[in-house]
Amino acid sequence: MHSDRSAARVSGSSAEELMESYVNGNGEAFEALYKKLSPSLFGYLLRLTRQRERAEDLLQVTFSKVHRARGSYLRGAPVLPWLLAIARRSFLDERRHASTRSEDLSHDGNLPEPKPDDSGLPSDLSAALERALDSLPEAYREAIQLTKISGLSIVEAADVLGTTETAVKLRVHRGYEQLRKELDRFHRSV
């Protein structure tokens, strides 16, 4: 019965309420929070890394940091942008560390980005859109993922990316333009 009451308390709660409850030691609140937000977080990391295994590793690193730092969460902070910012930093840290190890570098000294799967034509519009998103430059891809798919506002996305609202709008706009071109190509080939 205690479990039922606790479950009733967490269901229907906002992410911020769940986070507060988690910080106060409620494990069920964490599970509800994870269920609520992990798809957005994982989707973002998958869009950045384009490798499922790496995205899952980074998801674990992100939540590990959240768990250690839960005492420093300030009440009322929007949780999804908070988590996405931590995830992004984890991604950038991992990329920085990888570049200092002996990895194969491209001719310009950068780590080669995993190439999107170009084998075969996309079967439908969803697949074409997925491929088009993956082919965008990282900055545009991130901006569209955060605003269109994760549902952040321009202001929140700018906070996560550490840039200005104008820069985010520009990246989204340019990303859309490239998506249009790619999708036009798909439609012509169908």
Partner 1 sequence: MTVHDSDPPLDLPWPKPAEPSLATSQAICKQCTGDLERRRRLSGRQRLMLSLALSFSVFALFAWLTRSHARIEGTFRSALLGAVGWGAVQAAVLWVGVVRPPGRRASARIRLVLAVMVPVAFIAYIAYAAPHWVTFAEFSHGPAAAHAVGCSFVGMLFSAVVTGGVLLLWRGTDPLSPGLTGALVGLVGGVGGGLTIGVSCASQEGWHACFSHGLGTLAFAALGWALGRRLLPP
For binding to partner 1 (CB under 8 A), which residues are involved?
22-27, 30-31, 34, 38-40, 42-43, 46, 55-56, 59-60, 63-78, 81-82, 85-86, 89, 125-126, 129-130, 133, 148-150, 156, 158-160, 162, 164, 176, 179-180, 183-184, 187-188
Q: Cβ 184 to partner 1, closest distance in Å?
A: 5
Vertex 20 angle, CA 42 and 84, to 5°: 25
Of 70, 40, 53, which Cα lies nearest the Cα of 150? 40
Q: Cβ 157 to partner 1, closest distance in Å?
A: 11
Q: Cβ 17 to partner 1, closest distance in Å?
A: 14
Q: State which residue, 82 or 140, has the beta carbon closest to partner 1.
A: 82
Q: State which residue, 23 or 139, has the beta carbon closest to partner 1.
A: 23
Vertex 81 angle, CA 78 and 84, to 5°: 145
Q: State which residue, 143 or 179, has the beta carbon closest to partner 1.
A: 179
Q: Cβ 150 to partner 1, closest distance in Å?
A: 8
Chain-centre distance for alpha carbon 27: 24
Q: Cβ 163 to partner 1, closest distance in Å?
A: 9
Q: State which residue, 106 or 187, has the beta carbon closest to partner 1.
A: 187
Q: State which residue, 48 or 107, has the beta carbon closest to partner 1.
A: 48
Of 155, 160, 166, 149, which Cα lies nearest the Cα of 81? 160
Of 89, 62, 56, which Cα lies nearest the Cα of 159? 89
- What single letter denotes the amino acid at residue 138? E
Do residues 85 and 160 touch, judged by C-beta distance below 8 A? yes
Do residues 136 and 179 touch, judged by C-beta distance below 8 A? yes
